Amino acid sequence: MEQMNELVESVLESADEHGLWAPHDTIVVAVSGGPDSVALLRILHEISVNRIPLNLVCAHVNHGFRAESVEEAEFVRKMAGELGVPFELAEFDIPSLAKGSGLGPEGTAREKRYQFLIETAHRYGARSVALAHHADDQAETVLMRLLRGSGPSGLAGMRWKRTEKKVELIRPFLRINKTALVGLCRDEGFPYAEDASNLLTKYKRNVIRLEVLPSLEKYNPKVKQSLLQLSEIVGAEDEFMEANAAKCFDELVLMKHGKYTFKRALFAAIPSALQRRLIKLILNYLSADSSTLDFSKIEAVRRGTLQEHPTVWSLDLGGGLICVRQYDTILFSSKPPQRKVSYTYRLSLPHSRLLLTEIGKVMTMTVLEKETFLVQGEDYGKMSAWFDSDELVLPLTIRSRLPGDTIRVMGLNGSKKVKDIYIDDKIPSSERSEIPLVCDGLGNIVWIPGVRRSMHAAVGRHTASVLLLSLEDMEQHEEA
Torsion (CA) 196, 197, 201, 203 in degrees, nearest 10: -160
- Please work out, in degrees rounded to the nearest 5, the angle formed at the alpha carbon of residue 260 by the alpha carbons of 257 and 263: 130
Where helices occur in 253-294 by DSSP H, the ranges are 264-268, 272-286
- Please work out, in degrees rounded to the nearest 5, the angle formed at the alpha carbon of residue 180 by the alpha carbons of 176 and 185: 125
- Please give the DSSP secondary-structure letter assigned to residue 391: T
Q: Helix, strand or coil for residue 305? A: helix
The answer to whether the beta carbons of residues 151 and 295 sit under 8 Å apart is yes
Which amino acid appears at position 329 of this protein?
T
Q: Does 32 appear as a known binding residue?
A: yes
Dihedral-angle region of residue 125 (phi above 0 means left; psi in -120 to 50 means alpha; beta otherwise)? left
How would you list the strands of the sheet with 396-399, edge to edge?
A: 344-347, 396-399, 437-439, 445-448, 452-453
Q: Can you tell me the distance from the alpha carbon of 476 to that of 479, in angstroms, rounded to the nearest whole number?
A: 5
Q: Residue 310, preceding bond cis, omega within 30 degrees?
A: yes
Q: Does 149 appear as a known binding residue?
A: no
Checking DSSP bridges between strand 445-448 and strand 353-356, what pairing results, if any? unpaired
Q: Does 294 appear as a known binding residue?
A: no
Q: Does 381 appear as a known binding residue?
A: no
Q: Does 34 appear as a known binding residue?
A: yes
Q: Can you tell me the distance from the alpha carbon of 17 to that of 19, in angstroms, rounded to the nearest whole number?
A: 6
Residue in 308, 284, 313 with CA at minimum distance from that of residue 298: 284
Strand partners, 324: 314, 331
Residue in 346, 109, 153, 252 with CA at minimum distance from that of residue 354: 346
Q: Does 157 appear as a known binding residue?
A: no
The answer to whether the beta carbons of residues 118 and 168 sit under 8 Å apart is no
Q: Residue 350, preceding bond cis, omega within 30 degrees?
A: yes
- 268 burial (CB, 10 Å; 0-12 / 13-18 / 19+) is exposed
The answer to whether the beta carbons of residues 318 and 287 sit under 8 Å apart is no
Indicate the annotated binding residues: 32-37
Indicate the annotated binding residues for ATP: 32-37
